[in-house]
Structure 1
Amino acid sequence: MNDDDQSFIHNNCYPSVVRGPDDGVISVDVSRDALVDSMTDMSETPIPPDIIASVDTPGEHEENEKLTLAYERLYDIPKTIVERFSDHIKYLDISHNKITNLDALVYFKSLTSLIADDNPITENCYLPPLPKLELLWLNRCQITSLYPWVGKLKESCPNLQILSLMGNPAAPSYFNGGTFYEYLQYRLFVISQFPSLHHLDDRRVTEDQRLEAQRLYKRPFFERIVKPAGLSQIVNSSVTWNTFQNKITTLLGKDKQNRNLLI
Structure 2
Amino acid sequence: MDRNRSVVDQNLPSTSTSNDGGVISVDISSNFLVDSVTEVPPDLIMSTEGSGENADDPSRLTLAYERLYEIPRTIVEKFSDHVTHLDISHNKITNLDPLVHFKHLTSLIADDNPITENCVLPPLPRLQLLWVNYCKIASLYPWVEKLKESCPNLQYLCLMGNPAAPSYLNGGNFYDYLQYRLFVISQFPSLSHLDDRKVTEDQKSEAQRLYRRPFFERIVKPNSGGISQLMQTSVSWSSVQNKISSLWGKDKQDNRNLLI
Both structures adopt the same fold (TM-score exceeding 0.5)? yes
Whether the 8 Å contact between 1:191 and 1:210 is mirrored in structure 2 is: yes
Shift in Å, 1:262: 1.1
What residue identity is the alignment partner of 2:245? T
Percent of aligned pairs with the same residue?
A: 67
Alignment of 1:100-111 (within 5 A): 100-111=94-105
Shift in Å, 1:252: 2.8
The aligned residue for residue 236 of structure 2 is 240
Cα 1:51–1:220 change in 2 (3 A) is farther
Shift in Å, 1:37: 5.9
Matched, 1:121 2:110: no
Cα 1:51–1:61 change in 2 (3 A) is farther
Distance 1:33 1:234 in 2: 43
Matched, 1:262 2:258: yes
Distance 1:176 1:207 in 2: 27
Alignment of 1:47-58 (within 5 A): 52-54=47-49
Distance 1:33 1:114 in 2: 20
Shift in Å, 1:115: 0.2
Distance 1:188 1:33 in 2: 41
Alignment of 1:51-130 (within 5 A): 52-54=47-49, 64-130=58-124
Q: Structure 2: any 5+ residue segments left out of the alignment?
A: 1-25
Q: Alpha-carbon deviations, 1:180-213, whole Å to 9, x = none?
A: 0000000000001000000000000011111111
Cα 1:47–1:176 change in 2 (3 A) is farther
Shift in Å, 1:175: 0.8
The aligned residue for residue 168 of structure 1 is 162
Shift in Å, 1:258: 3.8
The aligned residue for residue 178 of structure 2 is 184
Cα 1:166–1:146 change in 2 (3 A) is same
Aligned length: 229
Higher helix share: 1
Alignment of 1:27-46 (within 5 A): 34=29, 39=35
Distance 2:118 2:221 in 1: 23
Larger CA deviation: 224-233 vs 153-162? 224-233
Work out which of the residue numbers 245, 249, 253 in structure 2 matches 1:249. Answer: 245
Give 1 or 2 for the bigger CA radius of gyration: 1
SS in 2 for 1:67: strand
The aligned residue for residue 206 of structure 2 is 212
Cα 1:44–1:181 change in 2 (3 A) is same
Larger CA deviation: 161-170 vs 218-227? 218-227
SS in 2 for 1:190: helix
What residue identity is the alignment partner of 1:174? Y
SS in 2 for 1:87: coil
Distance 2:228 2:56 in 1: 45
Shift in Å, 1:103: 0.2
Larger CA deviation: 224-233 vs 173-182? 224-233
